[in-house]
Structure 1
């Protein structure tokens, strides 16, 4: 697997984990009303990983020669929680099937 695709995989997984941390932090801030520490910690982490995920999709799309609709789907998967994992898995199986 090319380095770009491997890095994309790591960033997609990290982005999903940061979503989990942010959602847990939001629960404690808005539902349990016990403080906003989780949001203050995971908000910036998730923001940075979101940007890295978008850059990773673009870099991986160039390396693997994804179509424009596939690239657009990858970019759209940055928004709903945990869909970056689904997209990463889908593209990993597609890439390994062609190698």
Structure 2
């Protein structure tokens, strides 16, 4: 996996957990707004909105760089709209990122005129 693909995965992974946390906090704020006088929905809505837009932009970049199949890219998008989906996306992206780093290191360690058995 090229270094640009690994960095695209890393960016997406780093925003997935904060986006999921902001979504959960927005849900809590929505409940509190209806049950108490506490209203932080406008603030949390804005924070979550910004994080979601960043997630979508990084998702599009990762889709372009990694060249995911349609099913994989759709899965990562669906996980972004589920309340705890960002945590699952983070875990899956971490595995994919680690695999890409391992593959890149293996390419660097393999001499370029030889073939592996």
Structure 2: gaps (5+ residues): 104-117
Gaps of 5+ in 1: none
For 2:13 and 2:93, the matched residues in 1 are separated by 9
- Are 1:76 and 2:78 an aligned pair? yes
Q: 2:17 aligns with which of 2, 5, 13?
A: 13
Q: RMSD of the alignment, in Å? A: 1.7
Answer 1 or 2: higher relative contact order, Cα 8 Å, separation at least 6.
2
TM-score normalised by length of structure 1: 0.84
Structure of larger gyration radius: 2
Aligned to 1:34: 37
Count, aligned residues: 97
Determine which of 47, 50, 60 is the counterpart of 1:45: 47
CA–CA distance in structure 2, aligned partners of residues 52 and 82 of structure 1: 17
